[in-house]
Amino acid sequence: MTLTALWWAVIISGLYHGVNPGMGWPLAVSSALMERRPIALARALAMLALGHFLAMIVILLPFSLMVFLVEHERMIRIGAGGLVVGMGVYLLINQRHPRILARVHPAKLGLWSFLAANAHGAGLMLVPIYLGICGLLQPGDGVSEAGHAAAQTLMSSNLGAAFSVALVHTLAMSLAGAALALFVYLWFGLKFISQSWFNLDRVWAVSLVLVGAFGIWSALYGHHPITGSAT
């Protein structure tokens, strides 16, 4: 499990989120068609990206503050993995979309994107990957004995990593969603969306379970920053 592989996981998960209609690209197409201006598509996609980025940050920042407690790093990662698995199982059992999403005004795409990403557990999917990146970025021996200054340095690097992961993921999500939205807007239109809607809810829920299981596995058998070695 290398740092490069984990960053690729951030990008691929972003592309996956972008392709998923549940993250909002059909709303961008709908907005542009109703306004009959291509600029409306770009504006809607930008608002969706902003909401998604904020949703990622809201989930990742608490973990960036927790992960500097290196003595408990393994338990934090196992707990995060279990949380993601639990979210996936919940979505498999309860496949109804949250009613609050239907009550958000169509003009408030940024808010809708933020709520949709959190309701679907999109940010949680990044947590095991993010914690793995932080584990590989942390120094090895002596971290737990370095005192307050070292903890502050470690926390600062984790905050930077949280913003980097959220940004890279959101860029990948935006590119994938924009490509689909532009394609549908230019060649098919709103009728295609209403007639050809594809539902990825089950795939999404299963992927959460798999990512959470990966997070637990990596915590148990992967790289540990306290010793700098793999179990």
Average pLDDT in the 223-230 region?
47
CB 162 within 8 A of CB 64: yes
Asked whether residue 58 is domain-assigned, the answer is yes
DSSP code at position 229: E
117 pLDDT more than 70 = yes
Task: Name the residue range of residue 222's domain.
Answer: 3-19+50-173+202-230
Q: What is the pLDDT of residue 168?
A: 94
Output phi, psi for 145, to 5 deg.
-105, 5
- Place 56 in a pLDDT band, splitting at 50, 70 and 90: very high
pTM of the model: 0.72
Which segment, 38-42, 113-117, 134-138, is predicted with the most confidence on average?
Answer: 38-42
Query: Residues 9-24: what's their mean pLDDT?
Result: 86
Across 39-67, average pLDDT: 87
Helix (H, G, I), strand (E, B) or coil at 108: coil
State what percent of residues in the chain have pLDDT above 90: 13
Within-domain flag for 136: yes
Task: Look at residue 207 and tell me if it is in a domain.
Answer: yes
pLDDT given for residue 225 in this prediction: 46
The answer to whether position 41 is within a domain reads no
pLDDT, one tens digit per residue, over 168-204 is 999 999 999 999 888 888 877 656 655 555 555 667 6
223 phi/psi in degrees, rounded to 5: -80, 135
Q: Residue 225 CB: number of other CB atoms within 10 A? A: 21
Residue 162 belongs to a domain: yes
Question: Which pLDDT band holds residue 147 (cuts at 50, 70, 90)?
Answer: very low
pLDDT at 97 over 50: yes
15 inside domain: yes
* Domain total in the chain: 1
27-39: average pLDDT: 81
Within-domain flag for 29: no
| Residue closest to 7 by CA, chosen among 157, 155, 167 | 167
Alpha-carbon torsion (141, 137, 128, 101), positive or negative: positive
Q: What gap in Å lies between CA 53 and CA 195, rounded to an integer? A: 30
Q: Is residue 14 part of a domain?
A: yes
170 versus 31: the higher-pLDDT residue is: 170
15-19, 69-73, 101-105, 137-141, range with greatest mean pLDDT = 15-19
Helix, strand, coil percentages for the chain (3-state, nearest 5): 80, 0, 15
